[in-house]
Structure 1
Amino acid sequence: MLGISIFVADRSLEDNVRYMEEMKAAGCTEIFTSLHMPEDDIGQLKEKLLEIANAARRLGMDLMADISGKALEKFSFPFLLEAGVTGLRMDFGFSAVEIAAYSHKMKIALNASTLTPEFLAALQEHHICLDNIEAWHNYYPRPETGLDKEAFIAKNRWLQAEGITTMAFIPGDGLKRKPLFQSLPTLEKHRNQSSFLAYLELEKDCAVDKIFVGDLTLSEGSQVQFQQYEEGIISLRVIQELPYALWDKVHLNRLDAARDVVRSETARTDQERFVMTRSIAPMHTYKRPRGTVTVDNYLYGRYEHELQITLRDLPAHEAVNVIGHVIEEDLPLLDYVRQGGRRFSFTAAT
């Protein structure tokens, strides 16, 4: 499940709503916002929150607000309910009794990193509604302070074993948040990785149920990747070096997945898409480092038109034309594309 972060003081309402609409199309279902921000005029902050909540309701997106005990006194719980806030992330300033009581009224997210078996037992003693409880990790603005992957996974597995939904943040590759502009990931290793790659790692390997973009926006290229992934397709950003009739086609890695290359199952037989000559002449027969996109020329006989992506460095071959390269940032995605039966596509890098 993909979510986004909306910080009402950092961008205009129009920009925030436009981004919400774009991300809804990319499969986003939930929004995180913070009510910790210093604000001279609490009335102005309430007005901004109402506008975002109204937009979220119109788009069918849940709205989770990060709040402290002191901030809740200013906003009041009835106001938040009426505004359309669907959940609260309660980090500090709340007792086990208060959290348990609120859990019977709406979704409550607790700090995943600091939640202990002892505090969970105290919550259960006060009859917490576990169906409404989630465990959310923080994002870490300062470099070198993000979490370690192994300890993170261990904590998530314990939480899931207790029946609690887990959540973490990935960096955005669009607008960064002030004052450091150094990304807002949960895991330190993700700080300078692509947003989509970080998402796949959390989803596949880290016992994370919900994933939110921490930064202000995603780039257009990343939005395309998430939109494609909603349809079960991994989109690879490529530098296209030669025209190719099937650049915009969705491909399928053969079920009998090869060791050295990803092989498009249909490229050799998709005759209706060919706008090139039937016979492909040898050209650009260069060395093929990992991530090279190739098409076999007529010297390979019946393999002519075969599309491949190299999974390891391979030498030049007179029968193999190099037509492009997966950008360096997306090379780790090949570890997911290499699975037999995986659908993939190409997007021109900008």
Structure 2
Amino acid sequence: MHPQMPPTYPHTRSSGRSRRPIQGGFPMTKLAITIDLLSMTQDRINTYLHDAKALAYSEVYLVMHVSLFHRGKADESLAKLCATIRQSGFRLHAMITEETFNEVGFNRNDLKPLADLGFRALRLESGFERHDYVVTLTQNTYGILIEDNGLALEDPIGRIKAIQAKGNLKQYSAVHPYYVHPDTGCSYDSCVNRTRLFKSTGIEVGVWVNTLASSSPAFPLAKGCPTIESQRHLSTNLSASELVAMNLFDTLGFGVNPASREEMEDLTRVVSRNVVEVPVYFQPELEPHLKEALLQMRFKARSDSAAQILRAVQFRQHAAIQPFNTINRDRLSLTIDNHLAGPYEGEMQIALKNLPSTPYTNVIGQVDLTAGKLVDLLQAGKINFVLIEQS
């Protein structure tokens, strides 16, 4: 069926909010970057830190290598970088494997060498399977937070119980791994279930947002550095929107693949506004004034989730809407009820499955197919969203 010509909307009343610029200050959800001295040039590191500071990032993860130490002491390049990061106001995290920890000569009973370098958190990579070992680390007297390897733990319940019994739970959190090798990331369900386990006992959890700007020396054949495999080919904007919509994580960051300035801006914007962005394509014939009003509006799905559509009522009675393009509603079709729907006129909807046409519903566009998971997450009605037009 060919689209019908649209009517005009002389009575459109826009009370939606415009897209806000990035504001200063730190958002409640912490933002992080990762730096690897052995794979990034000094100029790239300096630019990365400058951009992170300007965009309200507060956490810097530093990858630890044995070659950065000599007889247990940091070499000049590492010591200088740690000082720069600390003086810039970031909280510094050491990312370290158990093998590197032992080979450098660190002592689980005394983290003073790490504290002296300015580290305020220790992110445990591979190894560290013994509960008593990690319990001791959480008892350090330097206030160093121990960040466990979230999803990679073989016995997370045993770990939590051990720390509750003998460790310091106030100095313990979890950060899920990032995965640079394609097809190796975790499933959505495993990430959610493990995160909820930690959160149920008050433990903060961090996760990694995808970036497509660069590849990793660990796997130079492909880009993408997410925690969740289904996000590997998503933009940072969409990856971040999904993670924010999950409403589970205390820290969102970029893993070992450096993000671009634009990707960093996308993450800051989504987190600081606490509003996720749904990419859409509008019908070319849609009246520009109505389209602009919809783009300015903040939506939120009804909490009594409909079985077949996502319903957002915020635009009801904001415009006089005549029937237009009342065609079949394919999955992820963007629709709006016209005046034939009476008091529902202006209700914006997204089809969750293929649905037939109705005379009272106009199909005005299509959600980008890559945002299907995001739409499912928004259906719970717990977070605001805006429409972002794609070219």
**Fold shared by both chains (TM-score > 0.5):** yes
Which among 177, 180, 198 is matched to residue 141 of structure 1?
180
Change (3 A) 1:240 1:156: closer
Question: Any conservation in 2 of the 1:90–1:108 contact (CA below 8 Å)?
Answer: yes
Tell me whether 1:48 sits opposite 2:78 in the alignment: no
1:111/1:136 contact within 8 Å kept = yes
1:227 is matched with which residue?
Answer: 269
Partner of residue 199 from structure 1, selected from 243, 251, 256: 243
Which structure is richer in relative contact order (CA contacts within 8 A, separation 6 or more)?
Answer: 2
Shift of 1:306: 3.5
> Given residue 48 of structure 1, which amino acid in structure 2 is its aligned partner?
L
Question: Would the aligned equivalents of 1:225 and 1:234 in 2 still touch at CA under 8 Å?
Answer: no
In 2, distance between residues paired with 1:154 and 1:295? 35
Which ranges of structure 2 fall in alignment gaps of 5 or more residues?
Answer: 1-28
Structure 1 unaligned spans of 5+: 272-278
Tell me how far apart the structure 2 counterparts of residues 123 and 290 of structure 1 sit (CA, whole Å): 47
CA-CA distance at 1:346 after TM superposition: 1.0
Query: Normalising by structure 1, what TM-score?
Result: 0.73
* CA shift for structure 1 position 327: 1.0
Q: Secondary structure, in 3 states, of the residue corresponding to 1:86?
A: strand
RMSD over aligned Cα, in angstroms?
A: 4.1
1:252 paired residue number: 300
Does 92-101 or 302-311 show the bigger shift?
A: 92-101
1:1-350 equivalences under 5 Å are 1-9=29-37, 10=40, 12-21=44-53, 23-24=55-56, 28-36=57-65, 42-55=75-88, 57=89, 61-67=90-96, 68-69=100-101, 70-71=103-104, 80-91=114-125, 100=136, 103-105=140-142, 106-112=144-150, 113-114=152-153, 116=155, 128-147=167-186, 164-178=203-217, 179-193=220-234, 194-196=238-240, 198-200=242-244, 203-204=247-248, 210-214=251-255, 215-217=257-259, 220=262, 223-224=265-266, 227-228=269-270, 230-241=272-283, 242=286, 243=288, 244-246=291-293, 247-254=295-302, 257-270=305-318, 279-298=320-339, 300=341, 303-340=344-381, 342-349=383-390
**Equivalent position amino acid for 1:245 in 2:** E
Q: Determine the C-alpha separation between the residues in 2 that align with 1:340 and 1:148.
A: 23
Distance in 1 of aligned mates of 2:299 and 2:197: 38
Aligned-partner Cα distance in 1 for 2:307–2:185: 34
Residues 72 and 190 from structure 1, CA distance in 2 versus in 1: closer, same or farther, beyond 3 angstroms?
farther
Aligned residues: 330
Q: Which runs of 4+ in 1 moved over 6 A?
A: 92-95, 117-125
In structure 1, what is the Cα distance between the partners aligned to 2:194 and 2:318? Answer: 48
Specify whether residues 285 and 22 from structure 1 end up closer, same or farther in structure 2 by C-alpha distance, changes over 3 A only: farther
2:177 is paired with a residue whose SS is coil
Judged with a 3 Å threshold, the aligned counterparts in structure 2 of structure 1 residues 323 and 224 are, in CA distance, closer, same or farther, namely farther
CA distance in 1 between partners of 2:244 and 2:382 (Å): 17
Aligned residues with identical type, % of pairs? 22
3-state SS of the aligned residue for 1:251? Answer: coil
Q: 1:300 to 1:221 in 2, by over 3 A?
A: farther
Paired with 1:192 and 1:314, the residues of 2 have a C-alpha distance of: 28
Deviation at 1:344, TM superposition (A): 2.1
**Deviation string, structure 1 residues 60-107 (Cα, Å, up to 9, x no partner):** x4321113324466xx96564355321122446889569726732111
Taking the aligned partners of 1:122 and 1:264, their CA distance within structure 2 comes to 46
Decide whether the 8 Å contact of 1:169 with 1:212 is kept in 2. yes
Q: For the Cα contact (< 8 Å) 2:240–2:270, is it kept in 1?
A: no
